[in-house]
């Protein structure tokens, strides 16, 4: 009975603790989404038209050199705005893979492709990415941290028994592994609260 009540309290505390971590993770992950100001309607129309034109010219380009020139122009246009730079990332990655995959004149085109990739990445980069990643790692570590360790864990085991010691850091698991026992104890507690029955009676 005492173990049940104790683990129920620990389960409630762990639940509240995890809820706080969930909210912290949600807010931290939101920082990973680029918060760039989008284009106004007129600029968006002009941008879409220019990018569409460049994509068409790339498809019809007579040689690799011309293709790269159009790709460079596309990256230059997109990199003027963080939002559009982020949008172009997927398309650029596909074109990059295709050019590298062909392997034609690779030693000469690699520097230009690298410059374009870095320019686009910088334009769409989330500020303080490393710091945000570190915060997410810390949250994950806190999520798996034990509430009771060392002398505290030993004291719980000695005073409340091995079951309490085994499940104190995973209280929800106790109610999964001992569902029938937990249900019986809950029923006794309910009868005590409603009718005054002895919770320790058979």
Which are the contacts of 138, defined by CB distance < 8 A and separation ≥ 6? none
Percent of the chain whose predicted confidence (pLDDT) is above 70? 85
Burial tier of 31 (Cβ tally within 10 Å: 0-12, 13-18, 19+): middle
Report pLDDT digits (tens) over 116-167.
Answer: 999 988 888 777 778 888 999 999 999 888 888 888 888 888 877 888 788 8
Residue 198 in this model has a pLDDT that exceeds 50: no
Select the more confidently predicted residue: 130 or 202. 130
24-28, 97-101, 154-158, 192-196: least confidently modelled range: 192-196
Q: What is the pLDDT of residue 116?
A: 92
79-88, 138-147, 191-200: least confidently modelled range: 191-200
32-36, 72-76, 168-172: least confidently modelled range: 32-36
As separate numbers, helices (DSSP H) first and strands (DSSP E) second, the chain gives 10, 0
- Dist. CA 85–CA 39, nearest whole Å: 12
Report pLDDT digits (tens) over 87-112.
Answer: 898 899 999 888 888 877 888 888 99
Select the more confidently predicted residue: 46 or 86. 46
User: Distance of CA 168 to CAs 7, 13, 164, Å?
Assistant: 6, 11, 6
In the chain, what are the domain boundaries? 2-28+143-195, 41-125
Residue 62 in this model has a pLDDT that exceeds 70: yes
Residue 202 in this model has a pLDDT that exceeds 50: no
pLDDT band, very low/low/confident/very high, at 78 (cuts 50, 70, 90): very high
82-102 vs 64-78: helix crossing angle, rounded to 10: 160
Q: What is the pLDDT of residue 135?
A: 93
Q: What is the pLDDT of residue 130?
A: 82
């Amino acid at each position: 009975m005492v173990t049940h009540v104790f683990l129920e309290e620990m389960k409630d505390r762990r639940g509240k603790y995890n809820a706080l971590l969930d909210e912290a993770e949600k807010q931290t992950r939101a920082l990973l989404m680029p918060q760039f100001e989008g284009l106004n309607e007129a600029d968006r129309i002009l941008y879409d038209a220019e990018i569409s034109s460049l994509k068409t010219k790339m498809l019809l380009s007579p040689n690799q050199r011309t293709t790269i020139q159009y790709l460079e122009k596309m990256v230059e246009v997109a990199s003027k705005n963080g939002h559009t730079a982020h949008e172009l990332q997927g398309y650029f990655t596909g074109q990059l893979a295709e050019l590298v995959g062909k392997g034609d004149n690779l030693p000469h085109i690699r520097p230009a492709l690298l410059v374009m990739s870095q320019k686009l990445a910088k334009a769409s980069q989330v500020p303080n990415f490393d710091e945000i990643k570190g915060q997410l790692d810390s949250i994950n570590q806190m999520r798996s941290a034990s509430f009771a360790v060392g002398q505290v864990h030993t004291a719980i085991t000695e005073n409340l028994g091995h079951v309490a010691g085994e499940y104190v850091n995973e209280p929800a698991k106790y109610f999964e592994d001992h569902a029938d026992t937990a249900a019986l104890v809950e029923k006794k507690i309910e009868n005590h609260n409603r009718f005054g029955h002895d919770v320790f009676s058979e």
